[in-house]
């Protein structure tokens, strides 16, 4: 245990500005394109886990493996139901890594502890919001990561439509919370649990590092190097997200809509990450001819509706698919409840997948930003960059940062008064 007593740099023990963490997350997302030839995503592997979990918990009564979404023999097949340790779901390691990375970050700070729900209303909102997050994410074919930053990164238009849906959804639920539910939440019966509120963070750090090592050795033994790559990419995402408290929910709720606490830090963080990701895609794909598995999602009613549901769930949970995962790793029980609710919501969507697939998804086209400019990639990239700029400007205007930056001192046009 001698290594846990070594002095660490001060910056590792203190929170970071979200803008710094956002830049680092953007760089990791570009690295992911290089290392595993895929963009950043989260909810796909979680949905595979949900299909397996429902099958196990019901003793096979819910034969999820035969559902069209999970059945390889179905023309509507997406991915198999699989446990996190199965090679078919090796990408789940990015989610596990996010949780471990956040645990490591908080343990180094000395701030890891179990954070229980403040009252019963928080539990209820975590469940409802989690279900909406999961259902909305899979309806739209991706969440705030896979069908927002990862698609706009590739200049795919569905990311912008999903963003519009999230904006509408977060507006609805922000008004619902601030105008109607806030008082009910304060009156809700409190929950007082002290378990895990005071823990030895050195032991937490030891657990996280041991879990990382054991997970690495497991996949090493199977010879599946991609799973190890996903694990460490996830650790980086979780570590940086936790250090900067990066949150897509705050980007819209606080950066766009809140009357009580306007704050643009997370809007700027996501905008910076998105701009770096767009740049990485342009340089790698069009500069070096790098090929990777892009998310070419069809855009239609399902995209916008999924975004609205996801946006509502974000504010109810006070977290997105990314922050719910890393805050679970930080010890937040409400976000862990929401995360399992999200997994359940995805699995429910998988059951009714044929309806949405045949009525919207299959009928919808795949569009790129540059399709609106005659195939001009430069114009399409400019449109994608403008989304990031818009997010940053709105958040910075609402919290006063933009006004402070552009404030020009008044010119003195009157001659000084002479004293005689």
Farthest CA pair distance, the chain: 99
* Total number of residues shown for the chain: 420
Residue 1 maps to a domain: no
pLDDT at position 408:
54
Residue 409 maps to a domain: no
pLDDT at position 16:
97
Count of C-beta atoms within a 10 Å radius of residue 196: 14
Domain that holds residue 285: 14-400
Helix (H, G, I), strand (E, B) or coil at 190: strand
Who has greater pLDDT, 411 or 269?
A: 269
The Cα 93–Cα 145 span in angstroms is 16
Residue 293 maps to a domain: yes
Residue 207 maps to a domain: yes
Residue 136 maps to a domain: yes
The Cα 380–Cα 373 span in angstroms is 7
**189: buried, middle or exposed (CB in 10 Å: 19+, 13-18, 0-12)?**
exposed
Report the percent of the chain where pLDDT is more than 70: 95
Residue 35 maps to a domain: yes
- Tens digit of each residue's pLDDT (9 = 90 or more) over 361-397: 999 999 999 999 999 999 999 999 999 999 999 999 9
Q: Which two tokens stand for residue 179?
A: 């105008």
- Tens digit of each residue's pLDDT (9 = 90 or more) over 60-115: 999 999 999 999 999 999 999 999 999 999 999 999 999 999 999 999 999 999 99
- CA count, 13 A, side-chain hemisphere, 188: 18
pLDDT at position 415:
41
Residues 6+ apart with CB under 8 A from 184: 121
pLDDT at position 391:
97
pLDDT at position 77:
97
Helix (H, G, I), strand (E, B) or coil at 154: coil
Bridge partners of 332, per DSSP, are 115
Residue 411 maps to a domain: no
- Tens digit of each residue's pLDDT (9 = 90 or more) over 186-212: 888 888 888 988 999 999 999 999 999
Mean per-residue pLDDT, 404-413: 62
- Tens digit of each residue's pLDDT (9 = 90 or more) over 292-318: 999 999 999 999 999 999 999 999 999
The Cα 397–Cα 402 span in angstroms is 5
Question: How many domains does the chain fold into?
Answer: 1
Banded pLDDT at 5 (limits 50, 70, 90): low
Count of C-beta atoms within a 10 Å radius of residue 352: 14
Residue 6 maps to a domain: no
Average pLDDT, the chain: 93
Mean per-residue pLDDT, 11-16: 92
């Amino acid at each position: 245990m001698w290594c846990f007593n070594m002095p660490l740099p001060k910056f590792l023990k203190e929170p970071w500005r979200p803008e710094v963490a956002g830049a680092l997350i953007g760089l990791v997302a570009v690295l992911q394109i290089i290392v595993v030839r895929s963009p950043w995503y989260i909810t796909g592997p979680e949905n595979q886990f949900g299909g397996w979990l429902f099958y196990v918990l019901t003793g096979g009564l819910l034969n999820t493996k035969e559902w069209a979404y999970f059945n390889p023999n179905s023309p509507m097949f997406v991915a198999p139901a699989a446990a996190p340790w199965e090679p078919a779901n090796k990408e789940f390691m990015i989610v596990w890594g996010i949780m471990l990375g956040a645990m490591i970050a908080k343990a180094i700070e000395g701030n890891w502890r179990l954070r229980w729900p403040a009252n019963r209303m928080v539990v209820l909102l975590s469940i409802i919001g989690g279900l909406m997050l999961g259902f909305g994410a899979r309806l739209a074919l991706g969440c705030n990561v896979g069908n927002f930053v990862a698609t706009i990164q590739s200049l795919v238009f569905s990311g912008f439509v999903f963003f519009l849906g999230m904006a509408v959804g977060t507006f609805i639920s922000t008004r619902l919370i601030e105008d109607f539910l806030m008082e009910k939440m304060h009156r809700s019966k409190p929950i007082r649990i002290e378990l895990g509120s005071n823990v030895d963070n050195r032991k937490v750090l030891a657990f996280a590092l041991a879990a990382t090592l054991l997970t690495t050795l497991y996949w090493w033994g199977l010879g599946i190097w991609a799973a190890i790559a996903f694990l460490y990419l996830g650790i980086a995402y979780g570590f940086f997200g936790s250090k900067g408290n990066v949150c897509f929910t705050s980007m819209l709720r606080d950066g766009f809509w809140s009357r009580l606490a306007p704050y643009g830090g997370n809007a700027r963080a996501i905008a910076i990450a998105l701009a770096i990701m767009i740049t990485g895609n342009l340089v790698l794909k069009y500069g070096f001819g790098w090929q990777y598995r892009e998310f070419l999602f069809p855009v239609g009613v399902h995209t916008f509706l999924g975004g609205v549901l996801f946006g509502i769930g974000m504010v109810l949970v006070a977290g997105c698919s990314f922050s719910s995962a890393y805050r679970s790793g930080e010890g937040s029980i409400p976000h862990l409840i929401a995360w399992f609710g999200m997994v359940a919501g995805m699995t429910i969507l998988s059951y009714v997948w044929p309806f949405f697939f045949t009525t919207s998804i299959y009928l919808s086209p795949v569009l790129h930003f540059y399709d609106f400019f005659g195939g001009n990639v430069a114009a399409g990239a400019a449109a994608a960059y403008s989304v990031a700029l818009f997010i940053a400007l709105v958040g910075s205007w609402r919290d006063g940062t933009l006004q402070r930056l552009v404030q020009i001192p008044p010119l003195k046009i009157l001659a000084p008064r002479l004293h005689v």
